[in-house]
Chain A
Amino acid sequence: MEQDVAIVTEGLTKCYSKKSVVNNLDLEVMRGQVFGFLGPNGAGKTTTIRMLLGLVKPTAGKIQILGHNLFSNREMIAKKVGAIVETPAFYSYMTGRENLKVLMQSSNISASSKRIDYLLEMVGLKGREKEPVKQYSLGMKQRLGIAATLLSEPEILFLDEPTNGLDPAGTVEMRSLIINLSQQNYTIFLSSHLLNEVELMCTDVVIIQKGEKRLQGKMKELLAQGKEFAIEATPASLAIAVLENYCQTSITVDANGWIVFKAEHFEVPTILRLLIEKGVQIYQVQERRNSLEKLFLELTGQPSESFATVKMEVSLS
């Protein structure tokens, strides 16, 4: 059992001038999981990651990585962990390739051109590796960051808001890179303030708010609770009556006139047939995949406006 656990924290706490930023946080991440660490800006995600990397000392609490105490096995753990913390930081006066070389040697591994070439290829920077990093776009730096995390062939990757600040194309590239990695048996600790991002990529999730854990679970199970669909239909009143009768719950209408109801995936054809038989005209059907946001709302009793959910993306995905 012990060997299957990648990261464990117990009562992890960090205070800055008496104010707690991370409070009594218990986490358990199993090997091979893509673990979503979700929380609004300022929730304490980066501080937690900095503690897990030994950059920031916890005020209290224990950290175990791959079964070893972080504080007494720093050097041993260092090689098994790769990380991007907040915005990517590189030596801007060196080329992408030189940066990878320096970082690889800093892990106390001989620089291997083969490994560096392979990683440059993988993150799509082949051909640009001889340019100084100061000429790179944020997206390129972020991808170089991913290559850097993989230099020492680690087991755990910490990715702190890897799509933050990227344009839509960069975001898509970065996400497909991460999904690619998640299929290669890395344990990925992904922090994000984007609900749909975590929903898209993670197998497990913890939601934190103001430094405290609010929710934890398997993504599938969490999403299975209260899946929602929306239809564009006329006449609306008839549709709502039919749906209320079928679902036995109240039906809502969103700002754009979509009628939203809760149902299991397999029930949808039945519901649609029923609506049509009763004379409702259906123009469009959508699966509403923002259920994490709903969960968060139900959990905290407050709207998660601080979560920047990109509605467009949600409905597209």
Chain B
Amino acid sequence: MTTMNLLHAELLKARKQQINIFLVLIITFVAVFFHGWLVIAAKVNPSYIKDAEVFLPYYNSLNLSVKVISFFSSIIAIVFVANSVGGEYSQDTWKMILPRYGSRIKFITTKLIVGLLAMILLYLLGVTSWLALSAFSYWLLDLNPPPQVLLTLKNGLPVSNSLKTLVLEMFSMSFYGSLTLLATIGARSFPGGILGGSVSSLLMTTATIIPSKYVSLSLPSLHIANLSAQWMQNKKEIEAVAMAFRGNVSMSVSLVIVLAYITCFIITALLLFQKRDMAGH
């Protein structure tokens, strides 16, 4: 496959970029800090053993790791995309790289695919290292396997919940990623992309309070919340979202609306990128 070369090139860049290494380090730091703290606390004060017994079994550990990474997910998506595309502006490397590609659209598409791959990889890496740390702490504290392990395994709930969260997170990261892509190409810079990506996400969150059905129905962040609430069957969240929407919106409607946003952002970004001159600064 010839396009594998393009993917390899982008992956190497992503791997070497300090900001991406920093993103991985943040997640690693949180994982190490959490487990280190738990083990030391349990060793010093046996009353913490109970907490360890709750947090360390793999199904809870899985859930927790996915939640922790998800906490950072939109920031990660915004920073990654802004850096991946905006970095080419700040060092003016477009002029080296674009004449090689011939097709600009192919280039941005490659970047997007690598972005998605990187997010999946980050999640996998984060979750597996979290699980490994939990297992290690479990062993350090010499805990007995609690009976719930078998119970929950049989019901299969936590694992599938984590998987659902993962899929939802990927979806929402795709949304923030495509929004940031447009912002970065629009502003032609990394800071512009970060600013555009985060300010518009902030605006969407604050716009939730505007008391208008049409405003709330047009807010992609609310639709993402709706998808999450309904798919995870979280009653409290379903009610909260319904209140914001002033009525119920089905999952498929929300899905279509968010997908439409993503498509629009990407197509506008591509058209803008295709049309613009690369004339340096």
Question: Per a CB cutoff under 8 Å, which of B17, B91, B99 touches A54?
Answer: B99
Q: Contact at A56–B16, with CB atoms within 8 Å?
A: no
Chain A nearest CB, measured from B186 CB (Å): 18
Q: Contact at A50–B102, with CB atoms within 8 Å?
A: no
Q: Contact at A105–B92, with CB atoms within 8 Å?
A: no
Most chain A CB atoms below 10 A, which of B13, B96, B277: B96
- On A, residues with C-beta under 8 Å from B are 46-47, 50, 53-57, 74-79, 81, 83, 85-86, 89-94, 98, 101-103, 105-111, 148, 152
Contact A74 to B12, CB < 8 A, known contacts A55-B94, A55-B279, A103-B96: no
Q: Across chains A and B, which 4 residue pairs bring their CB atoms closest together, nearest first?
A: A75-B102, A105-B9, A78-B102, A74-B102
Complex Cα distance, B13 from A98, in Å, reads: 9
Chain B 90-132, CB-CB to A under 8 Å as 1, else 0, gives 0111111111111100000000000000000000000000000
Q: Contact at A90–B93, with CB atoms within 8 Å?
A: yes
**B16: nearest chain-A partner, CB-CB:** A94
Other than A54-B98, A110-B5, give 16 A-B pairs with Cβ distance below 8 A: A55-B95, A57-B277, A75-B102, A83-B95, A89-B92, A90-B91, A90-B93, A91-B13, A91-B91, A92-B91, A93-B16, A98-B16, A103-B97, A105-B9, A105-B12, A106-B100
Q: List 30 A-B contacts (CB under 8 A).
A: A46-B280, A50-B277, A50-B280, A53-B99, A54-B102, A55-B99, A55-B277, A57-B275, A75-B102, A75-B103, A78-B102, A83-B95, A89-B95, A90-B93, A91-B13, A93-B17, A94-B12, A94-B13, A98-B12, A98-B16, A101-B12, A102-B12, A103-B97, A103-B100, A106-B9, A106-B97, A108-B3, A108-B6, A108-B100, A109-B5
- Say yes or no: is B144 at the interface (Cβ < 8 Å to chain A): no
- Say yes or no: is B278 at the interface (Cβ < 8 Å to chain A): yes
Q: Contact at A50–B2, with CB atoms within 8 Å?
A: no
Chain B residues within 8 Å of A54, by CB: 98-99, 102
Q: Contact at A107–B278, with CB atoms within 8 Å?
A: no
Complex Cα distance, B18 from A57, in Å, reads: 34
Chain B nearest CB, measured from A117 CB (Å): 18
Chain B 57-94, CB-CB to A under 8 Å as 1, else 0, gives 00000000000000000000000000000000001111
Chain B residues within 8 Å of A92, by CB: 91
Give the number of A-B contacts (CB < 8 Å): 101
- Say yes or no: is B246 at the interface (Cβ < 8 Å to chain A): no
Contact A90 to B279, CB < 8 A, known contacts A78-B102, A110-B5, A111-B8: no
Chain B nearest CB, measured from A75 CB (Å): 3
Complex Cα distance, B104 from A159, in Å, reads: 22
Q: Contact at B278–A78, with CB atoms within 8 Å?
A: no
Complex Cα distance, B97 from A107, in Å, reads: 8
Q: How many residues of B contact A (CB 8 A)?
A: 29
Q: Contact at B13–A102, with CB atoms within 8 Å?
A: yes
Chain A nearest CB, measured from B127 CB (Å): 27
Complex Cα distance, B260 from A76, in Å, reads: 34
Question: Per a CB cutoff under 8 Å, which of B8, B17, B99 touches A78?
Answer: B99
Chain B residues within 8 Å of A55, by CB: 94-95, 98-99, 277-279
Chain B nearest CB, measured from A21 CB (Å): 10
Contact A91 to B94, CB < 8 A, known contacts A105-B6, A106-B9, A110-B5: no
Chain B residues within 8 Å of A91, by CB: 13, 16, 91, 93
Chain A residues within 8 Å of B96, by CB: 85, 89-90, 103, 148
Q: Contact at A105–B5, with CB atoms within 8 Å?
A: yes
Chain A residues within 8 Å of B278, by CB: 50, 55-56
Complex Cα distance, B92 from A108, in Å, reads: 20
**A151: nearest chain-B partner, CB-CB:** B100
Complex Cα distance, B95 from A74, in Å, reads: 15
Q: Contact at B91–A89, with CB atoms within 8 Å?
A: yes
Q: Contact at B99–A81, with CB atoms within 8 Å?
A: yes
Chain B residues within 8 Å of A94, by CB: 12-13, 16
Chain A residues within 8 Å of B93, by CB: 89-91
Question: Per a CB cutoff under 8 Å, which of A93, A101, A106 touches B101?
Answer: A106
Complex Cα distance, B99 from A75, in Å, reads: 9
Complex Cα distance, B100 from A77, in Å, reads: 9
Q: Contact at B95–A105, with CB atoms within 8 Å?
A: no
Chain A residues within 8 Å of B13, by CB: 91, 94, 102
State which residues 190-245 of B face A: CB under 8 Å: none
Chain A residues within 8 Å of B279, by CB: 47, 50, 55-56
Chain B nearest CB, measured from A73 CB (Å): 8
Complex Cα distance, B12 from A77, in Å, reads: 25
Complex Cα distance, B205 from A154, in Å, reads: 51
Complex Cα distance, B277 from A56, in Å, reads: 4
Chain B 1-42, CB-CB to A under 8 Å as 1, else 0, gives 011011011001100111000000000000000000000000
Q: Contact at B5–A74, with CB atoms within 8 Å?
A: no
Complex Cα distance, B102 from A107, in Å, reads: 9
Chain B nearest CB, measured from A83 CB (Å): 6
Complex Cα distance, B5 from A55, in Å, reads: 22
